[in-house]
A and B are shown apart, each in its own frame.
Chain A
Amino acid sequence: MRLRLTFSKTLAMRFTGHMDLHRSLERTFRRAGLPLTHSQGFTKRPKMNLASALPLGVTGDHELADIWLDEAMPLNEIEDRIRKAAPPGIELHQTIELPEEAPKLQNVVSASDFVVTLLEPIDSLEKRVADVLAADQIIRTRRGKEYDLRPLVLDLSVIEPDGEGRVCLAMRLRTQEGATGRPDEVIAAMGGEPFDTRINRVKIHLGPE
C-alpha cells in the first residue's frame, strides 16, 4: 500500500535537517506500529520518499512524504495512529492512497511557495523586488560554486504584513533536482540579512509549472 502524507514541520523541528527528519518520521511510524515496507539488504530502512529538503530553520506547512506499508490498513486508522505518535513539530494534515505505479515524488516536484517575514526592514524593498524580477541573471556563490539564481525565481512580491505589522514577501522558487532556489539566497541577493527573517514554505507544487 502506497501512501502520500501531507504534514507540517514547525517549532523546534525546523532545526531538524533532512536526514534527521527522515529518522524522526521513521520513528514516528515505528511508534505508530505501522507495518512499514523495508528496503532489503544489510541495513534495512523503511521505504520512504520526501518531496524536497527544507533549508535548516525554515518551517513548512505543506510538506510531502510517500511511504509504503506491507499490509493495507484503513486510512483513518493510519492517520489516527500517526497523529498520536507524532513528535512536537510534526503535524499530519492528510493521508491519501496512491497507485504503486505513480511516479516518484521527487521527480514530480516542480516549485515551492515561501512566505518570508522580515524581522528587520529592508529599505526600498519594492525596488529591490523589481530589480530581481527585471534582472537577466543573478550570479551568486554557494559552497564555493557560482550559479545563476534568476531562473530559479519564478515569482516574487511584497504581500500583506503579518499580524504584528511586519513586512512579508511571497516567493515561488523552482524546486527540481539540481535546480532548487533557496529563499535565503533571494533575501541575500536583495541585500537583506537572511538571519533576520522567518521563512515558511506554504506549498509544494507537483507536476508541470
Chain B
Amino acid sequence: MEAMEIERLLERVLPRVQKPGRYTGGELNQVVKDWSDIDTRVALAFPDIYDLGMSNLGLMILYDLINKRTDALAERVYTPWMDMEEIHREHNLPLYSLESKHAVRDFDILAFSLPYETLYTNTLNMLDLAGIPIFSSERGVDDPLVIAGGHTSFNPEPMAPFIDAFAIGEGEEVMMEIIDVHKAWKASGEPREGLLHRLAHLWGVYVPALYEAHYNEDGTFQHIEKLVDHAQLPIVKRIVSQLPPPVTKFIVPYVDVSHNRIPIEIMRGCTRGCRFCHAGMITRPVRERTVEEVCEALEEALNVTGFEEVGLLSLSSSDYTHVVDLVKAVGERFADRVLSISLPSLRIESLSVDLMDALKDTRRSGFTLAPEAATEKMREIINKPVSSEQLLETAREIYSRGYTTIKLYFMMGHPSETMEDIDAIIELCKAVLRVGRECIGNRAKLTAGVSTFVPKPHTPFQWVPCDDLDTIYIKQEHLKRHLRGRGLKLNWNNPKETMLEAALSRGDRRLAEVVYRAWQKGCKFDAWYEGFRYDLWLEAYEEAGLDPAFYTHRRRPLDEVFPWEHLSTTLKKKFLTEDYLWSLAGRTRIDCRNQCFACGILPVFSQLRRDTPGEHWQCPEVKSRRVTVRNDDGTFMPQAVQEKPVTITLEEVIQSQ
C-alpha cells in the first residue's frame, strides 16, 4: 500500500480507536525527509505501544544520529494496541511509519530495540503486520534487513531465527556502519546472503545464521560452531570510547506518554558490581559526561521542546562524580524556568544531605531508594553492602526535610534466601515508616516495590536457579499479609511473567520455537496484564518438547557452557565465577573505582582507554604501548578469546580470604 492510500485510510479509521494520537505522527521535532532522495531508509521500531516507545532513549539517539546523515533517514514505528491491530488486519493496513506513512516493508532496514524479553512476541507480531517473513531464512532481496539491539541482545539466541543481525552493545557507531554496509551492498547488486556476510565483519555485529548451536545429550549447550571462516567468535560487544553529545531535539508528543521529560544520560555503566545486575555487568566501563556538557544540552533541549521535567539518567545517578555540582548548576541556571529534576536510581550511601538540599527546590514528593535486600547477610551475598542503620538515617534526613514518600525497591528470591529475609523486608519497611512518623507524623508514606529476582546471563548469578512459582506465591502472600496498613503500599510482579522472563533470558536457540508457537497461539503484549497468557506459553513449551524448568530452576554446574558465551561482554569467566563463589562465601567487593578487580574490560579495550585518557572513564588509565589488532582498513577491532570453564572451588575461595 502506498503512503497516500495509508493516509486516506487512517483518516477514516483513527476516530474509532482509543488514543488515536498514538498513530498520527506529525509531532513537533519529528524529521521528515524526501523519501525518494535518500539511499538508506531505516525504520526504528519499539515492540510496544507508542506511549512506551516514545520514552526509549536508545531509539531517540539513533533517530537523531541517522537523520543527521544526508544519505539516510530514520522514521518511527511502534506496536499498535489491540484495537488498532484489529483495524490493521481488517483493512489489510500494513504496519507503517509515523513520519511519512510508508509501509515498513518498503524500508531498507527495520531496527528493533529489545531491552527486555517480554517484547519478543510483539516483535514477531510487528513483522507479521508489516508483511515481512517471520523467519530470517525466508526473507528475500526485497525485504528489509531486520536487525535488533538493546540489552537482550547479550543473549539473543531465543530470537536468533527471526533477526538477521544483532548489534551487541552500544549502537551509536555500529548503526552508522550497518547503514554504510547496507548502502554498499545495495549498490553491489549481490543477493541477500551477501549482505549478511558483509555485516558479519563489523565489530559488535552478530549474524546468527552464520553459526550453528550444538547440544549435549542431557540437553545442555555444547558449543557454537561458525559456519563460515570470517564469522567472529566470540563477538565482542560494541562500546564508544567517549559518550557522544547528548540528543537535544526530542520529539514532543501530542498525547501523554509514560515519561514526559528530557532524558539526559549523565553517565553510562556502573562501578558497584551488584551481582544480580545485568545492566551493571554489560554496560562497563563507566564513562561520564561533564557538568558543562549536560547543562548545555539541557538548555538546548528546553528551548526546542518546552518540556517541564529533566531526567538525569544513569544506572546509579548519585554515584556520578559531580552529582551535587550538577544538580546545583541545573537548579541555578534554569531557576526561572520552573523545571523539575528527576534523578532516578539513587544509592543509599551516596544520597548525601548536600544532594537532598540541592534538590529541595524541585517538585518532588520523595525519593526512591533500592536496598534490594533487607538483611546484611543477604546484601553481602548480592554485593550491595549498606547497613540498615544507614538506610534509616537516610530516611530520617528525607522525611525530616518534609518529603512525605519514600519508595524502597527490594528483590525477593535472591540466592540462599529464607523466609527470615522476607520477614526482614517487612520489618525494615515498618522501621522506615516509623522514622517517617517520628519526623512528620501520619503524613509519612512508604511504598515497597518487591520484584522477584531473575538470574541473568553474563552476571555472577548466571548459574543460580530462579525461585519456583509456589515459592514465589508463598513469599508474596506473606508480604501482602504483613505489609499493609496506613501509609504502607506494596507493589509486586506477576510471578508467571517472572517465569517467562527467567526462561527466555537464559534460554538457548531451541526456545525460538517456543516463542514462535506462543505468538502463533496469540501471545502478544506479554508485559501487559491485558495480553499475557502463560497458559498459551506452557502449551508452546509442551509442543516444542521443552521444559521451562530446565532453563529456570536448574542450578547450573560451574563447568557448564552457556549458549550466550559467544557474545562477549569482555568480562572474564574467571571474574564472574570467582564473584559467584565469593557470594557463596559471603564476601563482598568494593566499588571498583577504588580498586580495579580486573574484570576484563580494560585489556580488551586498552587502546580505547589509551586514546581517551582522563577522568571521564572510571577505569584506570592505560600507559603501556601495546598495539591492538586492527582490521585491514585500520579500524579498531577488539580481540577476546573464547574462554574455557575455569576450575576454581569454593574451598579455594574461602581459603584465599
Residues of A bordering B, CB below 8 Å = 11-13, 15-17, 19-20, 23-24, 26-31, 33, 38, 42-44, 56-57, 85, 87-89, 119, 194-196, 198
With A12-B21, A27-B305, A195-B16 in contact, is A88–B26 under 8 Å at CB?
Answer: yes
With beta carbons under 8 angstroms apart, the residue of A15, A26, A30 that contacts B14 is: A15
A27–B262 CA distance with the chains assembled, in angstroms: 12
With A42-B363, A44-B338, A195-B15 in contact, is A15–B306 under 8 Å at CB?
Answer: no
Indicate if the CB atoms of B306 and A85 lie closer than 8 Å.
yes
- B364 — nearest CB in chain A belongs to which residue? A42
A2–B394 CA distance with the chains assembled, in angstroms: 45
- A11 — nearest CB in chain B belongs to which residue? B26
Residues of B bordering A, CB below 8 Å = 11-12, 14-16, 19-21, 24-28, 252, 254-256, 260, 302-308, 337-338, 363
CB B473 to nearest CB in A, in angstroms, measures 38
Indicate if the CB atoms of A20 and B256 lie closer than 8 Å.
yes
With beta carbons under 8 angstroms apart, the residue of B25, B260, B337 that contacts A12 is: B25
Q: Which 4 A-B pairs have the closest CB atoms?
A: A27-B306, A12-B24, A30-B306, A87-B28
With beta carbons under 8 angstroms apart, the residue of B28, B256, B306, B307 that contacts A88 is: B28
- A24 — nearest CB in chain B belongs to which residue? B254
- A30 — nearest CB in chain B belongs to which residue? B306
A-B contact pairs, 8 of them (CB 8 A): A12-B254, A13-B254, A15-B24, A17-B255, A26-B308, A27-B252, A27-B305, A57-B20
Q: Is the interface of A mostly helix, strand, loop or mixed?
A: helix
Highest count of chain B CB atoms <10 Å: which of A17, A31, A38, A198 = A31
Contacts of A43 in B (CB 8 A): 363
- A16 — nearest CB in chain B belongs to which residue? B254
Indicate if the CB atoms of B308 and A30 lie closer than 8 Å.
yes
CB B508 to nearest CB in A, in angstroms, measures 44
CB A175 to nearest CB in B, in angstroms, measures 21
With A20-B21, A28-B306, A195-B16 in contact, is A12–B26 under 8 Å at CB?
Answer: yes
Indicate if the CB atoms of A57 and B15 lie closer than 8 Å.
yes
Excluding A11-B26, A17-B255, A31-B304, 7 further A-B contacts by CB distance (< 8 Å) are A12-B254, A15-B14, A27-B307, A30-B306, A56-B20, A88-B26, A196-B12
- B19 — nearest CB in chain A belongs to which residue? A15
- B260 — nearest CB in chain A belongs to which residue? A23
A11–B26 CA distance with the chains assembled, in angstroms: 8
A20–B24 CA distance with the chains assembled, in angstroms: 15
- B253 — nearest CB in chain A belongs to which residue? A20
- A120 — nearest CB in chain B belongs to which residue? B12
A27–B114 CA distance with the chains assembled, in angstroms: 31
Indicate if the CB atoms of B363 and A44 lie closer than 8 Å.
yes
Highest count of chain B CB atoms <10 Å: which of A23, A26, A56, A85 = A23
Highest count of chain A CB atoms <10 Å: which of B16, B28, B252 = B28
Contacts of B28 in A (CB 8 A): 87-88
CB B565 to nearest CB in A, in angstroms, measures 47
Indicate if the CB atoms of A87 and B337 lie closer than 8 Å.
no
A33–B26 CA distance with the chains assembled, in angstroms: 23
With beta carbons under 8 angstroms apart, the residue of B15, B16, B254, B337 that contacts A89 is: B254
Indicate if the CB atoms of A15 and B305 lie closer than 8 Å.
no
- B21 — nearest CB in chain A belongs to which residue? A15
Indicate if the CB atoms of A31 and B305 lie closer than 8 Å.
yes
A88–B16 CA distance with the chains assembled, in angstroms: 23
Indicate if the CB atoms of B302 and A88 lie closer than 8 Å.
no
A28–B303 CA distance with the chains assembled, in angstroms: 10
Contacts of A24 in B (CB 8 A): 252, 254
Contacts of A88 in B (CB 8 A): 26-28
With beta carbons under 8 angstroms apart, the residue of A20, A42, A85 that contacts B255 is: A20
Highest count of chain A CB atoms <10 Å: which of B11, B14, B255, B305 = B255
CB B19 to nearest CB in A, in angstroms, measures 8
- B338 — nearest CB in chain A belongs to which residue? A44
CB A121 to nearest CB in B, in angstroms, measures 15
Indicate if the CB atoms of B302 and A15 lie closer than 8 Å.
no
With A15-B21, A57-B14, A57-B20 in contact, is A30–B302 under 8 Å at CB?
Answer: yes
A23–B254 CA distance with the chains assembled, in angstroms: 9
Contacts of A195 in B (CB 8 A): 12, 15-16
With A16-B254, A87-B28, A88-B26 in contact, is A119–B306 under 8 Å at CB?
Answer: no
A22–B487 CA distance with the chains assembled, in angstroms: 32
Indicate if the CB atoms of A16 and B21 lie closer than 8 Å.
yes
Contacts of B255 in A (CB 8 A): 15-17, 20
CB A34 to nearest CB in B, in angstroms, measures 11
A44–B308 CA distance with the chains assembled, in angstroms: 10
Contacts of A38 in B (CB 8 A): 338
A143–B496 CA distance with the chains assembled, in angstroms: 36
Contacts of A44 in B (CB 8 A): 338, 363
